[in-house]
Amino acid sequence: MVRMPQLDDVLDRMHVVALPMRVRFRGITIREVALIEGPAGWGEFGAFLEYEPPEAAHWLASALEAAYEPPPQARRDRIPINATVPAVDAAQVPEVLARFPGARTAKVKVAEPGQTLADDTARVNAVRAIVPTVRVDANGGWSVDEAVAAAAALTADGPLEYLEQPCATVAELAELRRRVEVPIAADESIRKAEDPLRVVREKAADVAVLKVAPLGGVRALLAIAAQIDLPVVVSSALDSAVGIGRGLLAAAALPDLRHACGLGTGGLFAEDVAEPVPPDDGYLSIGPVVPDPARLSALAAPPERRRWWIDRVRACHPLTR
């Protein structure tokens, strides 16, 4: 983790915003994040509200790295991104995909509580009718047997690029990988694990999905990527424009980038802290993101929520050392 600045300096530089979303995603319709304006740029602390300090501290370290440390060297100036399709009804898919002009890859949320495999299949097929390459993300929602059945159903009408975190545990991923031909991608099994390299040792994945904030920053992500012999997909943790900028930087700094990255989630927000930049032919350009002062003011969280985030930073700050 980065060398931490003084707590008072961090709090003096912090803005807390509440970003309305176009559709419910990950169970929320308002995304709260704390933004920190530091000497090196803007950082984002957006650990999800249910995360306790030991886990949330990684997200704070990422924000402070961005705000206080110089960025790593980029190897490319634009990044291919995938469209992100929440667990919407199949009829809503064209509307969602319209927010991702030029995207040739789409990630589709599946295994949503309260929905069925038939719902997932209809959604995936609706996406497949518009976008040539489809990947799905189950967020660990299936057992191994359920994932085997889902893989069969979801590939009946066309291929999948990969199944992202179809099961919750590394052991389950390894078993599933032996039973299906669809490639397996690991997300939570890396970013929420005490040992993020276990998926490699147990041959549990074909692709690694890495997210800047949960791993503690761009440098931490690059360090993990250097130790695994797997293709890397850099993805968003439902970041604001500031966090997306760091994800793009991480993808730009990787020695090799074979897959579209999950960094197009800005289209899920009805309002953001910077003017939205639509993909250009399926790509986003890298570069520093500076929030619009008027947007920071208009999207400011209520005072009681700002106090909540201040308390959260106070709790996490000592754990980032």
All CATH 3.30.390.10 domain ranges of the chain, comma separated, are 7-72+293-319
pLDDT higher than 80, residue 193: no
Mean predicted lDDT score pLDDT of the chain:
94
Please pick, among 107, 109, 192, 203, the residue that the annotation labels catalytic: 109
Domain with CATH 3.20.20.120 in the chain: 78-285
Nearest one of 251, 288, 244, 248 to 266, comparing CA atoms: 244
* Domain 7-72+293-319, CATH class in plain words: alpha beta
Say if residue 185's pLDDT is above 90. yes
137 known member of a binding site: yes
Q: What is the CATH number of domain 78-285?
A: 3.20.20.120
211 given a catalytic annotation: yes
**pTM for the whole structure:** 0.91
Q: Annotation-wise, does 187 bind a ligand?
A: yes
Res. 1: pLDDT tops 50: no
Strand partners, 185: 164, 207
DSSP 3-state assignment of 149? helix
pLDDT category of residue 321 using cuts at 50, 70 and 90: confident
Active-site pick, 107, 192, 203, 211? 211
pLDDT tens per residue, range 93-147: 999 999 888 999 999 999 999 999 999 999 999 999 999 999 999 999 999 999 9
Q: Is residue 216 pLDDT above 70, yes or no?
A: yes
Report angle CA 143, 145, 147 to the nearest 5 degrees. 70
Is residue 275 annotated as involved in ligand binding?
no
Known catalytic residue: 109?
A: yes
Helix (H, G, I), strand (E, B) or coil at 143: coil
What value, to the nearest 5°, has the Cα angle with vertex 100 and ends 135 and 82? 30
